[in-house]
Every structure is written in structure tokens, then in C-alpha cells.
Amino acid sequence: MRKASIWLSMALASCAPHELIRPLKPLEIALAPYQDVVTAALPGTLMYENDCLMFRDEATKAYLMPIWPEGSTFNGTAILLHQPGKTDQHVLVAEEFVMAGQPLQWARLTHPYYEPFRRQCGGVQPFFVASARPAN
């Protein structure tokens, strides 16, 4: 019996990841200090799947990981987008809108804070959101 329990604990230890990445908390969104650089404006919709808030680009059908300005919040149905010096704006999940900002590469997001987003959300390309407006 003792041999079986030792074997089982060794087998389980070998399956455990060497580097533990915490799972995302429900309604957790990626945040970064505000940047006003806009190099792209993309029409599309937000979707919340697997505890990940992602953006689906209407034109290319590609998925992006929005990185929201610090102070933004998510309640499960809408983002309250915070822009310094402006009124916070609601962006609803599944409602078409235009997201303006700049695409990023995960290599630029070296802080360990971003690793759970990269791992849990499928490694889709991050996009820093500078502003949003209705699609129509």
C-alpha cells in the first residue's frame, strides 16, 4: 500500500507544471496605463468566453485580447472604459462598436501580470484600447 501511495504521489508530481500560472478571476480584464497612440480602428464585438473578454474583428474575423486603460471595469455585460479627462463610456458585450488603439505583441508585455491572460485566453494578439465609439 505504501509503495502505491509513493508511486501515485510521484506520478502526480511529474504532471504538475513547474511554473504555476494562476487562473483568471471571474470578470478580470487586462489593464495598462493609458496611452493615446492610435494606429488602428477596428469594428467588431466583445465576447466573454472561458473567463476571457476578447474582441472579434468584424472585417478579418480575428480575435484580439483588449488591454484596457487602468480604471476601466467589467461587470459581465459591459466595460466601463476609462479615459483620463473624459467621461467614462459603456461598451456592451455583443454590441458592435469601433475599438481604436494599437496592436501589441506579447513580447512587449513582459510583466508577470499579463501571463494568465496570455495562457488562459489562447495567446490571441493583444490590442491596447485608447478609445471606443459606436459602430454606426
Could you read off the pLDDT of 45-94 as tens digits, one per residue? 999 988 999 999 999 999 999 999 999 999 999 999 999 999 999 999 99
Cell numbers for 25: 478571476
Q: Where are the domains of the chain?
A: 2-134
Contact criterion met (CB below 8 Å) for 44 and 58: yes
Which residues have CB under 8 Å from 33's CB, separation 6+?
A: 69, 70
Could you read off the pLDDT of 14-46 as tens digits, one per residue? 444 445 778 888 899 999 999 999 999 999 999
